[in-house]
Amino acid sequence: MEFGIILVPQVRDGKPEPFDDVMEQIVYAEELGYDTVWLTEHHFSPYGRAAVPALAGYAIARTSEIRVSTAVAVTSFQHPIRIAEDWATLDHLSGGRVDVGLGRGNQPAEFKSFDMSMDEADDRFTESLEILRLAWTKEQFSYDGKFWRIPETSVLPKPLTKPYPPLWQAALSDYTVEKVIARGINGLIGPYLCPYETLKTSYFDPWHRLTASAGRTDLQMAHNEFVYVGESDAQVKADIKDYVMWYVRTAAKIWGERDRSKVSPQYANYNDILEWLDVVSFEEIYNDLGMFGTPEAVAEKVRWMRDEGGVDHLINFMWIGGFEQEKALKNMELFAKEVMPQFKEPVRRPTAAQA
């Protein structure tokens, strides 16, 4: 397996911007032997920060080996040529160690502030992906779509990685899994805070079945989970309870439209999740919906992800609810030193996006 960390800066109660903490975690992740760091794009709330290419560039300058990735660049809010230019440049600056995760977005407040319709999100994604591939592989191209019309154009620079950096798409519904495979993209598959059997039957098993039937076993599958490692259950619970519950209740408020009559059909599956996040207890989250506890307990869940889920790449959400930096660093350290070595067999790494 490979292991990464995902960073969603959460800025609570007037606290200062956490960019120094973000960079310290990235540098430490490289020192500890993590394979990737994934930066997240979010707008207009305490949940996440927007300027991912700027953060990625700074991270690249501070590191030399870890892959710097985005999970995800939101295609609804950016011109695809800008995504192509930014990530081709970052590919050069990093010496070929970037991955590009793409997604359509999911937060109603973000779509509203960008004056975008959520009903258009999937079609915009499809056009953006087509344009990205053209921009990266064609000396010149034109495009005449529903949302984007581009005259004969040459986008520079072309990526250092040929034909372009590995592409990943987020899939938080079972029907999106099928689309990811059809598009020939590596998968960021399944939501966190999800029962493992649901992950297996609704996400992981379909991924493996469909990639095999399509002859695309070259595609990689990653999944992210809440992770916190400590010396005892009592210590872990005391460290994280308030922060986990702030995160969960905040997600319930901002991840989707609560009035079902206003929900885009593309996002209809979110409402049950949001209503569940309103009421789920900390004990249920701790026991069944994340990787929490001693190194032995966490390693057992990682083993399930590898052996039962067939996960190639586990992306750890280790800085939950904006808790103190020292907790985040200690969590990263304990996982890297006590858990990761049990699973670090050599594995194939995606070397280029699929055409």
- Is residue 61 included in any domain, yes or no? yes
Q: Which helix (H) or strand (E) holds 271?
A: helix 270-279
- Is residue 202 included in any domain, yes or no? yes
- Is residue 248 included in any domain, yes or no? no
What distances in angstroms separate CA 78 from CA 40, 75, 188, 264, one per listed residue? 14, 6, 20, 20
Number of structural domains the chain divides into = 1
Query: By three-state DSSP, how is residue 51 classified?
Result: coil
- Is residue 281 included in any domain, yes or no? no
- Is residue 279 included in any domain, yes or no? no
Domain holding 124: CATH number? 3.20.20.30
Which residue range(s) make up the domain with 55?
A: 2-243+291-343
Q: Which residues partner with 317 through β-bridges?
A: 226
Q: What pLDDT does 346 receive?
A: 54
pTM of the model: 0.93
- 127-168, pLDDT tens digit by residue? 999 999 999 999 999 999 999 999 999 999 999 999 999 999
- Is residue 53 included in any domain, yes or no? yes
- Is residue 263 included in any domain, yes or no? no
Query: Using 50, 70 and 90 to split pLDDT, how confident is the model at 190?
Result: very high
- Is residue 350 included in any domain, yes or no? no
- 306-346, pLDDT tens digit by residue? 999 999 999 999 999 999 999 999 999 999 999 999 998 65
**Residues constituting the chain:** 355
DSSP assignment of 121-177: HHHHHHHHHHHHHHHHH-SSEEEE-SS-EEEEE--SSPPSSSS-SPEEEEE-SHHHH
Q: Indicate if the pLDDT at residue 354 is higher than 70.
A: no
